Amino acid sequence: MNVWFSRLALSLFTAGFLGTADPASAQNKAEVTLTAASYAPAKQVGHRSIEEFLQNIEKVSGGKIAYAFHPNGSLISQAQMLQAGRLGTADIVSITTSVFPGEFPFSASAGTLMFLWDLGNFDKAYAVLKPHLEAELAAQNLKPLWLAGTVTQWFLQSKTDLDNPDWSGRRIRGFGGSSTRMIEILGGTNVSIANNELAMAASTGVIQGIGTSLGSFSSFGVEKQLPCMLVNNNVPLINVIAINADTWNRLPEDMKALMSAEAGKIQKKYEQVLRDEEEPAQAKFESITGCVQRLSDTQRDHWRQLLDGIFKDFEGKQGAKGAEFVAGVLDALKE
């Protein structure tokens, strides 16, 4: 009853006050109205891909599918997103699996393995992860639509010795999963700080580094405090757009086919968008701060060896399934 009450209240709120969907939808007498929620800022791929997907399915369906989109945590916060999707409070949600390691014990850990794949080949790694992610999402009453990738870098107070990295004495906020272990292996201390507290933490010296995307980092306004970007072009496979399974099962087969096709197109498009936009964004950052470090192939291999403990921990915890995943990714990357 509480779930249906929440959905009713949400629908009334949307219809009465927001009017997010195109008015033409109402004139076409939509057969299905979907509510979507995201926590990502407007410039991020997570937001842009959902918005485009919703517009596309409304158009391709001839108005039979209408929608209400609540972005940037305006309705549901990142921490509440999994429950909202599971219960159907929102039909389509944006979930970061590393925020919920208990519910995603394999995919949250596997999706953040460092220096295994990168911006150029992360789609091959995702193909290996996808069956595991689908199974864990199914246990949460969710079905994946597409992966909303993000490219993470490290933003630090000063340069790192790329040949002999040592983050001793640095307090750094990672992004969950194996990023925490990476900080520890390099001698640093991982700290947990909310996004809205990062500017103060950086300006007062509470933290000396952040692992995040350029888009998110730019919104914090701390380029002066953390002016050095260490580029590793890591793409954590942890940001997934999913639909409530009950909602999905109620949809007519033709709508399922339409939505699956559009989700596949969005996946492919935004994989390339990530690649096309990252280099110009890095160049802009470098023009502002003048401090960008990039690992050579030799240095990258060296870092991979230094961080071998991440893989040993992963395989030790996940057993044969973990070893099989790593081997599967390595095979996929050779193709």
Instruction: Say if CB 63 and CB 25 are below 8 A apart.
Output: yes
CATH of residue 177? 3.40.190.170
Instruction: Say if CB 147 and CB 126 are below 8 A apart.
Output: yes
Name the domain count of the chain: 2
247 shares its domain with 206: no
User: How far apart (Å, rounded) are the C-alpha atoms in residues 50 and 125?
Assistant: 22
Q: Is 300 exposed, middle or buried (0-12, 13-18, 19+ CB in 10 A)?
A: middle
- Name the percent of the chain in helix, strand, coil, to the closest 5: 50, 15, 30
273 shares its domain with 316: no
166 shares its domain with 134: no
207 shares its domain with 62: no
116 shares its domain with 78: yes
What is the extent of the structural domain holding 112?
2-149+236-277
pTM for the whole structure: 0.86
Q: What is the mean pLDDT of each run of 10 residues along the chain (335 residues)?
A: 45 41 54 94 87 97 96 90 97 94 94 92 96 98 94 96 96 90 96 86 94 86 94 93 98 98 97 94 94 95 94 94 96 93
User: How far apart (Å, rounded) are the C-alpha atoms in residues 72 and 78?
Assistant: 9
177 shares its domain with 246: no
Residue 28, pLDDT score: 55
